[in-house]
Chains A and B, each alone.
Chain A
Amino acid sequence: MTQPPSPSAAPAVTAAPNVTPALEVDHVSRWYGNVVAVNDISFGLGAGVTGLLGPNGAGKSTLLHLMAGLLAPSAGRVLVEGADAWRRPELYRHLGLVPERESVHSFLTGREFARLNARLQGVADPDGAAARAIATVDLIDAADRPIGTYSKGMRQRAKLAGALVHEPRVLLLDEPFNGMDPRQRLHMMTLLRSMAAEGRTILFSSHILEEVERLADSVLVVYAGRLAAAGDFRSIRRLMTDRPHTFTVRSSDDRRLAAALMADASVFGTELVTGHVAIRTADYDAFTRALPTVARDAAVTLFEVRPTDDSLESVFSYLVRR
């Protein structure tokens, strides 16, 4: 059975034990009349990159805005560096947000927009900070054109530059890779990873599995306003014991191997497919230990052993179909 999230403790995702998490969401709910957008979600975040994954309408943006102090929780609390996020402008000294909505002041140039953000943040050297932010997001060429002339990807980068000028310790990004081409996306992913390595807490939302799989150290899966799972997605997969793992094995004698494996307690299905054996097992650990022994005893050489459904996609589809 999959363990339900314990109602009393806030399960930490990336926060180190005994350290106040940089960002803590404590039994937060948010409803609009009869519609519950966020339903009793709890988690804690520390340094590193966390992906907030969920289909459209799952409540990702609402959750991000709650964390950014732009919405009041209907129940529960959002704590950033130990203090309440709602109605506390001081929060923004160390928190940055890249909102999802496309619009930025289109009459400002990229550089002016970054500079505006720097001045409003009270940064000591606004021009320098703006220049650094523009360089970091690779927008130097277009920095002196009005944002109204930018493409969608350039606008995203301008927004990011605006959020970076004050070097926030916590950075929240709402669907940041929207409209970016692969090169820009790679660039931004590298940037976010390096920021996380400096000790910053980064949370980004997405409904695209590949992005989250590639970038995030850990994931938060939300579905219909509820937190479906939290943590490293491979660990989550391990916890899904009511769903068998599948392995693909290529060997010197597939039929012999399959017959031998069926005798082992950890295996409950084998299937011979042209070129390989597909094996279904309920117990990941027991099987991985048993396989080499069984193969050796049956005098079969293993060429390739690959878990077939150990992807974020299978985790996700399992979680949202429960």
Chain B
Amino acid sequence: MSVMAPLIEVTLRGLLGRRRTILLALLAGLPVLMALLIKVSGGRPDSDRILDTLVVRTVMPLVALIIGTAAIGSEIDDGTAVYLIIKPIPRSRIALSKILVAAGLTAAMIIPAVLLTALLLGSRNDTATTVVGFTVACLVGGSAYAAAFVTLSLFTSRALLLGLAYVLIWEGVLSGLLEGTKFLSIRQATLGVAAAFGVHVPGDPLAPGVSVAVLIVVLAVAFALGSWRLARFEIRGGD
């Protein structure tokens, strides 16, 4: 396992370049900014709604997308991935390290935003429920998104666009229209987990058991598929 440390280190350092970090900070800071704005203007705060529409449905998938597709995607793109591949490391370790970093960084960006927003605004129902519900939901949901996007970037160089299409078209529109496909949506599973803690989620949330199962399956499949793909990953020469 001692090979995980350098893998994690180099992935983190590669991800936290100046431009990317600023973009991520802006995105993750948006909900907090909104919370401050509402607090200052003395309106009718409802952190549940912000956490639902702005964080879970928008900012969290976007942040996970940017981080997940860059974790190994940027290295494949600029040609530095080869230095990780030509090492006597099981491919599953490489996949695991990338997924861990992507999931961890996503959580590190989103969870504080969730906490601050919830604590600043309180909740119409019970603040503790909101805090715990959304924290756990974003932890697992964000990780699922990140893992899925890491593996996606092993299969295509346009993972960012595909991920966007998935989040905006499938999760945004289609799975809403087709009731039976609700479980095929990480968003719905995340909201289902939050609902399991008592958060009031509009619409008809997925059952808690199904939600947790979906997220775990996504994580497991992402890891397995990623390892499988890495073992067969071909790098062409320049000639």
Contacts and interface: CB of A to CB of B under 8 A. Distances in A.
Nearest to B235: A70
B157 to A, nearest CB: 16
Nearest to B16: A107
B6 A62 contact: no
Contacts, number: 99
B235 A71 contact: yes
Contact of A120 (B6, B14, B236, B238): B6
Contacts of A68: 86
Contact of B10 (A72, A100, A101, A105): A105
Q: Chain B interface residue count: which class?
A: 20 to 34
Main secondary structure of the interface of B (DSSP, over half): loop
Interface in B1-60: 2-3, 5-7, 9-10, 13-14, 17
Interface residues of A, number: 42
Contact of B91 (A89, A91, A97, A117): A89
B180 interface: no
Contacts of B82: 70, 97, 99, 101
Contacts of A145: none
Contacts of B7: 120
Nearest to B5: A119
Interface string A177-208: 00000000000000000000000000000000
A235 to B, nearest CB: 26
Given A103-B79, A105-B10, A116-B6, A65 B91 contact: no
Contacts of A60: 237, 239
Contacts of B14: 105, 107
Nearest to A99: B82
Interface in A100-135: 100-105, 107-108, 116-117, 119-122
B239 A61 contact: yes
Contacts of B5: 119
A254 interface: no
B80 A104 contact: yes
Interface of B: 2-3, 5-7, 9-10, 13-14, 17, 78-80, 82-91, 231-232, 234-239
26 contacts: A59-B239, A61-B236, A70-B85, A71-B235, A89-B87, A89-B88, A89-B89, A91-B88, A101-B238, A103-B78, A103-B79, A104-B83, A105-B13, A105-B14, A105-B80, A107-B14, A107-B17, A116-B6, A116-B10, A120-B3, A120-B6, A120-B87, A120-B89, A121-B87, A121-B88, A162-B83
